[in-house]
Amino acid sequence: MYLKRKWMSWKYPFLLLFGVGLSSVGDWIYLIALNLIILDMTGSPLAVAMLYILKPAAVLVTNFLAGGMIDRLHQRNLMVRLDILRAILIALLPLFSSIWGIYVLVLFINMAGSVFATTSMVYITKLVPSGSRKQFNSLRSLVDSGGFLIGPAIAGMLFLIGSPWMAIYINAVTFLASGLIMLCLPELRKTPKAQSDRKLLSFELVKSDWKVVYKFSRNYFYVMAVYLLFGLMMVMAAALDSLEAAFSKEVLSLSDATYGFLVSIAGAGIACGAVVNTLTVRKLSTQVMIGAGSLMVSGGYIIYAFSSTFNTAAVGFFILSFSLAFANTGFHTFYQSNIPIDVMGRVGSVYGLLEAVCIICAKAAFGVAAQLISIQSVVIAGSFLMLSTTVILWLVSFQSAKRIAHAFVK
């Protein structure tokens, strides 16, 4: 009887995890295949780098308007449509022979992915009871790490028996399957609101939504301080990651094969961290996971920044990737527990927009600084900036945490 009740309470969350897992595997197949296709078409590493700029660019395009739409529509139905849309757009990629045509299509795919990410956060918060969210988030980290390991392996096998274009078609199928799985989930809509698409995209409504986010941020400064500090840490991580390949080549003097092995060690760290996180999640508080996890991430970057050999860099990579599972699980649980569901889409979209702007600016600044000074100096400076951010995050995440949580419950 206990097992039956347990299964019934976790049936839909497990179904959602399966759909997310399929998308995660598909994302890695798609990313690796597309990198090879663009490189084969152009022979230019810069053309490949453009793919990574399109992701934050997509956030800039969509998140200005998406929040209000996410909060007002059926999130389940929106997720299904976005998965099917991504499947169709990815299946159309092989029909384009122009590099700019592919870029435009990839931008639209990333736009759909950006809206999906925010929508899924709102839906997960509705679907999973508050007492189970931390465990669900730890399982999601495990699923994502599995995608990180399984996706490239599947892509490699597909390249052996076919071509990168074949991998693209397989990826379209994974998104279609994910959409069909999402269709089996409940809608979880409390009170339907009849609003036309035109009304959802009106200037007055968008202006009103931004005012709601501003008012919430002002009234709950502590919550948004944690949100902003964690976001700043991720901005620093994205900027440092953009110099990773150049650092490995110029500072560590690694070959392509050795650099690939270094990335594999990071993948192993993510997987190990996700497994340990899943096993210990019930014993750790959300604040410990955010604070200690983030501090260990910055510590891993510092070890990596000061490394001059492969072994030291590998230790840094493993520590930062291992710790990321704890930091992400803690942050997602904090986010779901402290931001009301009815404004979660708008808050996530607005702050996601700000984060995307910061990522683009930080990557550009780090790239220019690396050209003018040296790559290692920039990576060291960025790592210490991240460390100072995570120390403050550690202190803020513990300050009045219980009082704030009780305030939201009331």
Q: What is the DSSP string of 227-288?
A: HHHHHHHHHHHHHHHTTHHHHHHHTS---HHHHHHHHHHHHHHHHHHHHHHHHHGGGS-HHH
| CA–CA dist 221, 258 (Å, integer) | 45
Which residue from 270, 25, 283, 321 is spatially nearest to 134, judged by alpha carbons? 283
What's the pLDDT at 146?
66
pLDDT, residue 192, reads 45
Assess contact for 290 and 327: CB atoms under 8 A.
Answer: yes
**In the listed set 119, 153, 186, which residue is the last one of a domain according to the structure?**
186
Of 241, 244, 239, the C-alpha closest to 358 is 239
DSSP 28-73: HHHHHHHHHHHHHHH--HHHHHHHHHHHHHHHHHHHHHHHHHHHHS
Whole-angstrom distance, CA of residue 306 vs CA of residue 252? 10
**Same domain flag for 92 and 231:** no
Q: Are 138 and 325 in contact (CB under 8 A)?
A: yes
Q: Are 128 and 136 in contact (CB under 8 A)?
A: yes
Distance, in Å, from the CA atom of 192 to the CA atom of 361, rounded to the nearest integer, reads 40
Q: What is the pLDDT of residue 295?
A: 93
Contact 316, 387 (CB under 8 A): no
196: in domain: no
Among the three residues 186, 211, 239, which one is the final residue of a domain in this structure?
186
Question: What phi-psi label fits residue 43: left (phi over 0), alpha (psi between -120 and 50 degrees) or beta?
Answer: left
Distance CA 245, CA 49 (A): 12
Whole-angstrom distance, CA of residue 264 vs CA of residue 313: 12
138 shares a domain with 21: yes
- Provide the token pair at 228: 């902003």
What is the number of domains present in the chain?
2
One domain for residues 129 and 36: yes
Say what the pLDDT of residue 206 is: 75
Indicate whether 170 belongs to any domain.
yes
Q: Kindly state whether residues 266 and 215 are assigned to the same domain.
A: yes
Report whether 321 contacts 262 (CB < 8 A).
no
Domain boundary (121, 151, 186) is at: 186
Q: What pLDDT, on a 0 to 100 scale, did the predictor assign at position 381?
A: 94
In contact, 167 and 15? CB cutoff 8 Å: no
pLDDT of residue 191: 44
What pLDDT is stored for residue 409 in this prediction? 43
Statement to judge: residues 179 and 211 lie in one domain = no
Same domain, 30 and 84: yes
Q: Is residue 2 part of a domain?
A: no
pLDDT recorded at residue 196: 45
Co-location of 301 and 400 in the same domain: yes
- Residue 85 pLDDT: 93
Q: Are residues 115 and 82 in the same domain?
A: yes
Rg of the chain taking only CA atoms, in angstroms: 21
What is the predicted pLDDT for the residue at 159?
Answer: 67
Q: Are residues 166 and 22 in the same domain?
A: yes
> 177 and 73 in one domain?
yes
The segments of the chain whose pLDDT lies below 70 read 1-9, 45-46, 146-153, 155-156, 159, 189-203, 256, 400-410
342 and 263 within one domain: yes
The answer to whether residues 179 and 242 belong to one domain is no
Give the CATH number, domain containing residue 116.
Answer: 1.20.1250.20
Residue 306 near residue 380, CB atoms below 8 Å: yes
Residue 122 structural domain: 8-186
